[in-house]
Amino acid sequence: MAFYKEMTLRTSYIGKGAHGGDLLGEITDFCKARGITLGRVEALGALVRAKLGYYNQNSRRYETLEFDEHLEITNLVGNVSLKDSQPIVHAHVTLANDRGIAYGGHLVPGCEIFACEFVVQAFDGPQLNRGFDEQTGLPLWNEE
């Protein structure tokens, strides 16, 4: 059965990622520097190159796709919670090339920023912690 926890918006931030920075690293470092352990993230912009993850449900392993081309970030959405007592950003991203062909997947290290604008919303409420889920093999939120 699904579970939920009620959260309250504490504050919102709007910012810009560093040109040449790693997209996941920039957002994660931003959250860590401000003590954000529970939140929501979104972003748009452009990348010089990208790397996306895809979770293979049969092998229970992440596979990666690499793109050595300029891509637009048409959508990035994710959340912030704790894994092993550290803030972790879990995000999915949709990217488009110069012909409008879209690629999507799990945001992993390896996405070099050309330009990026992001929004981070920090929440107050019961903490969400990620732990190993037997059914999926993924680090999902615990119901504790």
- For the chain, list the domains and their CATH numbers: 10-124 (3.30.1330.80)
- Residue 3: band (very low, low, confident or very high) from pLDDT cuts 50, 70, 90: confident
For residue 1, is pLDDT > 70? no
pLDDT in tens, 94-127: 999 999 999 999 999 999 999 999 999 999 999 9
DSSP 73-142: EEEEEEEEEEETTEEEEEEEEEEE-TT--EEEEEE-S--EEEEEEEEEEEEESSPPEEEE-TTTSSEEEP
Model confidence at 19, in pLDDT bands (50, 70, 90)?
A: very high
pLDDT in tens, 21-79: 999 999 999 999 999 999 999 999 999 999 999 999 999 999 999 999 999 999 999 99
